[in-house]
A and B are shown apart, each in its own frame.
Chain A
Amino acid sequence: MIGGLFIYNHKGEVLISRVYRDDIGRNAVDAFRVNVIHARQQVRSPVTNIARTSFFHVKRSNIWLAAVTKQNVNAAMVFEFLYKMCDVMTAYFGKISEENIKNNFVLIYELLDEILDFGYPQNSETGALKTFITQQGIKGQHQTKEEQSQITSQVTGQIGWRREGIKYRRNELFLDVLESVNLLMSPQGQVLSAHVSGRVVMKSYLSGMPECKFGMNDKIVIDKQGKGGTTDDAGKSGKQSIAIDDCTFHQCVRLSKFDSERSISFIPPDGEYELMRYRTTKDIILPFRVIPLVREVGRTKLEVKVVIKSNFKPSLLAQKIEVRIPTPLNTSGVQVICMKGKAKYKASENAIVWKIKRMAGMKESQISAEIELLPTNDKKKWARPPISMNFEVPFAPSGLKVRYLKVFESKLNYSDHDVIKWVRYIGRSGIYETRC
């Protein structure tokens, strides 16, 4: 199991050091600093073995978190724990920075004591932790016996992510379907790979211990229902359903029920959390098509023309569109003409950045640039990095639709109809690249 956990600043100074096992000594702290933080080259692996001691590290801005062990630990678990640790810290004091860590070091030690016992991760749900690890720290005495046992049963219980007795005057929930669409396209317009990775994020403000059921246009579910209903029905819904390659759920979702019935039922944590993640690869709506044309004119000039076409309903508007066209290292000057938006050559980034605030569906826009090159004797050819794109569209490129989210709370007197529900779809670009 995890033998120790260290947090360093960018200089390699220790900010937090908590040792859980005897086999990890102070020299481990220095070994990591010398071999990884101060190493000359780029990090070649997130797992480093130095003198039979293994170091797992993740970096958040310029803060290093390192877990140390001498045993054959579950490596995936260690990383998951480190991420979780970052989440918990962020939930308590915001951004992970040197200043914040120093200001909260007592709190961090207290958290580490709670969520990692002898190197074994324990309940690390912030909802539960916040009930008894408070920045005031002296809550202990004022709790009644009932409160105390409620805390412990929540921390160890089956529903560790939600406490009892939550009350809202208005029961409300927000569902965000956030998708990032990824594309790699050849210069000829052939899709080399495309997938959507999506997340359903839920903000729940519900009283009591509500039982929820979430439904979407999952092909498997729709087809199953279609069999029971009329054939006409199946044909209609079949078109709208999507094939999900794989999905993962927040720990509140009953996985065995999903496995057997493919229904998503759960008691949600209070506040914001990620209900599910999914991935699709079939029938993806690619919101934009990029058509590049790069021509080398002699040794000192490049002509670039890029056309972008929006491919969705004309009534919808895409936002925050940015096209990034890489330029060679020996670029001396660039002249750009674009029909829409603003384009600039950014020498420090070796790219022409073309920004368009808004663009409706089924439109087309174009940029052309002349790139002057300095003559070089470098034999190595320019690698021609791909043209990348960023955007935001108000629909789900995977085609996912939320069909329902039902809320049942038997003990309190509100029903599904009383809950105010909001659903929003946002499609963003992930790695959206076209080779040129």
Chain B
Amino acid sequence: MTDSKYFTTTKKGEIFELKAELNSDKKEKKKEAVKKVIASMTVGKDVSALFPDVVNCMQTDNLELKKLVYLYLMNYAKSQPDMAIMAVNTFVKDCEDPNPLIRALAVRTMGCIRVDKITEYLCEPLRKCLKDEDPYVRKTAAVCVAKLHDINAQLVEDQGFLDTLKDLISDSNPMVVANAVAALSEIAESHPNSNLLDLNPQTINKLLTALNECTEWGQIFILDCLANYTPRDDRESQSICERVTPRLSHANSAVVLSAVKVLMKFMEMLPKDLDYYGTLLKKLAPPLVTLLSAEPELQYVALRNINLIVQKRPEILKHEMKVFFVKYNDPIYVKLEKLDIMIRLASQANIAQVLAELKEYATEVDVDFVRKAVRAIGRCAIKVEQSAERCVSTLLDLIQTKVNYVVQEAIVVIKDIFRKYPNKYESVIATLCENLDSLDEPEARAAMIWIVGEYAERIDNADELLESFLEGFHDESTQVQLQLLTAIVKLFLKKPTETQELVQQVLSLATQDSDNPDLRDRGYIYWRLLSTDPVAAKEVVLAEKPLISEETDLIEPTLLDELICHIGTLASVYHKPPSAFVEGSRGVQHKRLPARAGSGESAESPEVGQSGTSEAPPAVIPSQGDLLGDLLNLDLAPATTTVPSVQPSMQMGAMDLLGGGLDSLLGGDIGGSPSMGAALGAPAAMPAALSNAPAVGGGLGDLFDLGGGVGMPTGFYVAPKTLFLPAMKAKGLEISGTFARRGGIIQMDLSLTNKAMSVMTDFAIQFNRNSFGLAPAGPLQVLTPLTPNQTIDVSLPLGTTGPVMKMEPLNNLQVAVKNNIDVFYFSCQYPLSLLFVEDGKMERQVFLATWKDIPNDNEAQFQIKDVHLNSDAASNKLQGSNIFTIAKRTVDAQDMLYQSIKLTNGIWVLAEMRVQTGNPNYTLSIKCRAPEVSQFVYQCYELVLKN
């Protein structure tokens, strides 16, 4: 007899026949019928009409039949809740059965019947089963609590099942412990703030004991749970690590990966100079390599995780390059992942081997793989300077193969190599130009156009080449159109005589015939630039480009840290936080790596932190600097292939550029922080404040200014005026000035002196784009003509809603002043305290959370020397400049002030200032999501405290 026949019944009237058979007196016939029902259910037929008949078969001694009926019940109970009640009695009875297997079966199945009415009846049997004498029943009941919680969370809490479940963590049977841990972890996930999994050293000890004794699956549950624990100190962390490391030799890869997760996380807390730290690092490599001999699917999971581990701690696998060499028979998904890791591990020491391999791969069959291999060669060139020459010649060899996609990919990477090593490999341009016609992909076309534009002066027929692209301008993709526009403008600026017609053609194509706003805008900008000031145009368009960074495709550090906490899970496979693919409340909670032991507490910890930063991976590109400075090459974003789509703020930074969105400035990773909202709110609020205030504010400012700039009620420290523009440079106009913030209004106080022989009139002022969008909020009010040797003091109210561009240094401001004689330019630097807003006092709780939330790498430390103030006086003084002290703590004659500052663009800066009685030197730690500002904040502290 074979059961496969059940799958082939397709007769009409089948349900009717089954009904008859189910009600048959013969046991065998009944069982046959139920099997048929299950088979139909499996293939997707609706057999819910048979519900009462199937349930009738439930009362049986035959365990196999019973299980089949249960299976049916689990599937259809929901559609027939009233009928399902009929089954309750049997369940309750079975929960009392002398056979533990039957008791467990009943409680297991009952939990799967997701009908509200039934769950009420479930409580009593479940309570009994949780305390059953048989461990098999208890371990099943533990999971059942999680099932019940999924149906009715409130009920579970009311019935006190959570406490019973917690008690099971101390059960004598390791499997019961493991299942209780799994159930509790799942329940805790939907209550992110509850202290359900109350992990303390005692429970951890119990878990570690059970870890040695339970099944492989139980070990995984326990390890995954352990990974959520944060040890109290480095010693506890080490002792847990010591007890987890034996798991690295388990045959089950999931056990190994979960153990790796625990170790990677707890390792964060170990001091780097500890011997054990080094030992642990060494122990991690072999098991990771062993994972690569598992089945291909597991290899894939392992490789995705290794990709993260290599980014977090490159030292672990730096000598293991060879194991990532691609095998001919690897599935394509394994090949692609291995390639990624090879590039990450490439270094000067192994580059020759890597290149030989990559060249080999570039001749394979799979198109995606070949492309990636070619791209990898380019990335090696950028990463390891010594290899650049060899990489370029390898790429040239590949171009000679004339395989279309290889050529295109090679051109894209050569463009990046040009940017990384300018004026070194341009001799290959001729070869590249030969392949112009074969390029049909936008990215390759854009790259080629960029090359032609960039090196127009060395390519004799650059105009012809570009013109050939222009013919089908409207059929090109936006990327190519934008690039073509820029390239032709570059060409025009380099060879103005022959190419005037061409540039006019492209400008009119871009501005008049295009529907694409980006293209039109860029066209207009160029047009205006070229028509008003060709010299400026040259400076802008042909400006020196910032160098591209070595590392590409790096995962943003905070995301990386979060993903490290998710090693082994889907999040680590997708390289996305769980919130990106899990619905509902689960997984919304962001996991974090623990802080290194005692950071912020002991004096030596900062050094540890500092040494950590030096090893930290370089900034992710596109870094803000590149993005902002690289306006003209926007579409050819530096060497990155993809900006992971999970970083919304990053992309916004790229898009908002021209719109001057304040949040794009320095806001690399504000996503999700409270300052995000503020950043968006600030620009709207500021102009309103300004429009009411300038007259009054300005006037007041002038008054106080006469008083010599000291003792202002707001206490804002105003530096004495400094010379901004010497008379020699400005045909007799001398400008000195300073900046002040008065009652929330930013002002630029200027003294204009006429040192020339003639009267000056028609003053006007303008700022260049700057880091914080400072711009005059009103005209420069010089009412009377400035007679020779006369000095006028004016106060110019400033707003922060102007266009934004990152400046170097950050607080640099370029100003143009015009009078009846000429336009003069000067640049000056403003104290950052100008931008500290009055509502910068953060809630304590928020402060605490934010402090933890900002990665330690962002922390900067400074010494403020020779301040002879006690902490209270200092705190008062700082408050005048909107540096707010939120809390003060005194430990061992040392005052620690916790301070917050908010900038006009919504960026929060958090600081911890340590003042030791009798020591004139203060220690200042600054943490900010935009670490660039730290240094300038420190300057403000210096200024304020010393004056």
Q: Which residues of A contact B (CB under 8 A)?
A: 1, 13-17, 19-23, 26, 29, 42-47, 49, 52, 54, 56-58, 69-77, 79-83, 99, 102-106, 109-110, 113, 117-118, 120-125, 132, 137-141, 143, 145, 148-149, 151-153, 155-158, 160, 184, 192-193, 195, 197, 245-251, 254-256, 258-260, 274, 276-277, 279, 379-381, 383-386, 388, 431, 433, 435
Contacts and interface: CB of A to CB of B under 8 A. Distances in A.
12 contacts: A47-B570, A58-B297, A73-B569, A102-B2, A109-B67, A137-B62, A137-B63, A156-B173, A157-B135, A157-B173, A184-B327, A248-B256
Contacts of B245: 259
Contacts of A19: 75
Nearest to B109: A113
A158 B297 contact: no
A255 B247 contact: yes
Nearest to A99: B4
B586 A383 contact: no
B363 interface: yes
Nearest to A122: B217
A16 to B, nearest CB: 6
B250 A255 contact: yes
Interface of B: 2-4, 6-7, 35, 38-39, 41-44, 61-64, 67-68, 70-71, 75, 98-102, 104-105, 108, 111-112, 114, 134-137, 139-140, 143-144, 146-147, 150, 173-176, 179, 182, 186, 212-217, 220-221, 224, 243, 245-247, 249-254, 256-258, 286-287, 289-290, 293, 295-298, 300-302, 322-323, 325, 327-329, 331-333, 353, 360, 363-365, 401-403, 566, 568-574, 578, 581-583, 586-587
B217 A120 contact: yes
A74 B301 CA distance: 10
Nearest to B132: A152
Given A77-B220, A156-B136, A56 B250 contact: no
A256 B582 contact: no
Q: What 9 A-B pairs are tightest by C-beta distance, nearest first?
A: A137-B64, A246-B286, A102-B4, A152-B136, A259-B246, A76-B254, A255-B246, A77-B254, A72-B578
B67 A380 contact: no
Contacts of A137: 62-64, 67
A72 B570 contact: yes
Contacts of A22: 114, 150
A72 B565 CA distance: 12
Given A79-B295, A140-B63, A246-B290, A109 B100 contact: no
B917 to A, nearest CB: 50
Contacts of A117: 108, 140, 143, 179
Given A102-B3, A118-B143, A386 B328 contact: yes
B587 A76 contact: no
Given A245-B289, A258-B246, A259-B246, A72 B583 contact: no
A110 B290 contact: no
Contacts of B322: 192-193
A46 B333 contact: yes
Contacts of A383: 363-365
A74 B100 contact: no
Given A117-B108, A279-B293, A106 B300 contact: no
Contacts of B174: 158
A256 B582 CA distance: 36
A72 B100 contact: no
Contacts of A246: 249, 286-287, 289-290
B143 A274 contact: no
Given A192-B322, A255-B250, A46 B173 contact: no
Contacts of B566: 72
Given A44-B332, A152-B101, A251-B216, A70 B582 contact: yes
Nearest to A134: B64
Contacts of A251: 215-216, 250-252
A132 B215 contact: no
A286 B143 CA distance: 51
Contact of B581 (A1, A54, A79): A54
Contacts of B63: 137-141
A177 B111 CA distance: 46
B150 A113 contact: no
Contact of A149 (B44, B100, B401): B100
Contacts of A74: 220, 224, 254, 257-258, 568-569
B42 A14 contact: yes
A143 B61 CA distance: 13
Given A16-B42, A117-B108, A153-B136, 17 more contacts: A1-B182, A20-B112, A45-B300, A52-B583, A74-B220, A76-B257, A80-B216, A102-B7, A120-B217, A122-B175, A148-B101, A151-B101, A152-B100, A152-B101, A193-B322, A248-B250, A379-B403
B309 to A, nearest CB: 14
A23 B581 CA distance: 14
A77 B217 contact: yes
Given A46-B333, A106-B68, A152-B135, A29 B44 contact: yes
